[in-house]
Structure 1
């Protein structure tokens, strides 16, 4: 149940959603003006490129898909768990995401698409890491599922069905964080261009370090 979600999950989910929003804003405002944090449009663009014979675009879309998928595989390999649980290697995963964003920044500043692939890989790492907890699906890099969940909640509420109100608040928290991240990303990109990615890189890096220290303070083992 959502009512069992501890405070650190709420704060972490909101922060990660904000980071996702910032990265995605950079993707839309950057080199190829496309999403970096989810693959729905990428998959459709790849399908269209296949039909139209635009092999260069098809290769690019395939690289984006592969990068995101690779990030998800890496996250799953490290965390080894489909539900959030203290003691898992979230600190290491966040540090890897931070490193990927740091490496992506100078490449994007040189208009190299490898920067997009590294940033997309970082989003795959993040989305696979923030999966589920106590029956709550935690999505931090795309909002389609969040909007769908909120719509279902409102529909059930209109029918007078019993509702877990904290589920709606979680959805609103994630949506608000992602939207705020988009605003911050757009404002910062106008002034700092791709260097905007340094902020989410620092946030994930610091969070990863703090989590690792907290993990040791709690006396848990990294491999638990």
Structure 2
């Protein structure tokens, strides 16, 4: 029987899933993983804002908010901002510890371990957050979402050697502007090489910003329709992506 025309595509997709979170990195694998994480970050950030009016990935805004509310005397909001920043830092710290633990043991899942922790946190949060009736539950929401954002931003920083961020877009939009400036610049200086824009980088950055935006729309619409359970689907996708390196380590042991 002849294989269906879609079979090669399915094979290619499964191969990408197997390798996208593995220890061996390539620019293409980094791009696939960054695209996924940018979309998920947009969802988490949007859900956090719609639910508790806090952008849980925006550390610049949160730091400024702490300073402003400290002067204005809004100590409750100061406490929320400090909690958010602290949990983001703890998430990044946890990522570094998990990654270095796996790297020193030559684990294939040195990156996937962090993704699994992020997925489990999102899965538990998505499934249980709507059940919380404690009047200070917003503090729990901020803590979990900011910790998760810290995890995610740190792991993509590790994977891409600090070339890619997925939880905020300020740096990416700045780089887009730089590349567009290079493309628009026309130099006639004799003896100097022409200034050329990196179109590949420009396309990657535009794609990441676009996915963050689309994830934000999906998160807001999904939260209004389904509540926090909208986060269950991206958590399951992360688990699927992170599973192959974990299985490979288990087989090796």
CA distance in 2, matches of 1:66, 1:8: 31
SS at match of 1:140: coil
Q: Offset at 1:193?
A: 1.3
Match of 2:61 among 35, 38, 41: 41
**2:51 aligned with 1:58, yes or no?**
no
**2:41 aligned with 1:7, yes or no?**
no
Is the CA contact 1:5–1:133 (under 8 Å) kept in the aligned structure 2? no
CA 143–124 in structure 1, closer or farther in 2 if over 3 Å, else same: same
Which moves more between the two structures, 177-186 or 194-203?
194-203
Which moves more between the two structures, 114-123 or 158-167?
158-167
| Number of aligned positions between the proteins | 212
CA distance in 1, matches of 2:72, 2:38: 35
**1:182 alignment counterpart:** 216
**1:67 alignment counterpart:** 87
**Structure 1 residues 63-94: Cα deviation after superposition (integer angstroms, max 9, x where no partner):** 1000000000111112239xxxx946111100
- Any runs of at least 4 consecutive aligned residues in structure 1 with deviations exceeding 4 A, and if so which? 132-136, 214-217
Match of 2:151 among 109, 113, 125: 125
Match of 1:102 among 108, 119, 123: 123
CA distance in 1, matches of 2:88, 2:71: 23
**2:201 aligned with 1:167, yes or no?**
yes
**Structure 1 residues 9-47: Cα deviation after superposition (integer angstroms, max 9, x where no partner):** 11111000000011011011112x121122111111111
**2:231 alignment counterpart:** 197
SS at match of 1:131: helix
SS at match of 1:125: helix
Is the CA contact 1:64–1:120 (under 8 Å) kept in the aligned structure 2? yes
Give the structure-1-normalised TM-score: 0.84
Q: Offset at 1:199?
A: 2.2
RMSD: 2.5
Is the CA contact 2:48–2:141 (under 8 Å) kept in the aligned structure 1? no
**2:244 aligned with 1:207, yes or no?**
no
SS at match of 2:118: helix
CA distance in 1, matches of 2:223, 2:44: 10
CA 133–206 in structure 1, closer or farther in 2 if over 3 Å, else same: closer
Which moves more between the two structures, 142-151 or 46-55?
46-55
Give the structure-2-normalised TM-score: 0.75
Q: Offset at 1:51?
A: 0.7
Match of 1:152 among 178, 188, 191: 178
Q: Offset at 1:205?
A: 2.0
CA distance in 2, matches of 1:59, 1:137: 32
Gaps of 5+ in 1: none
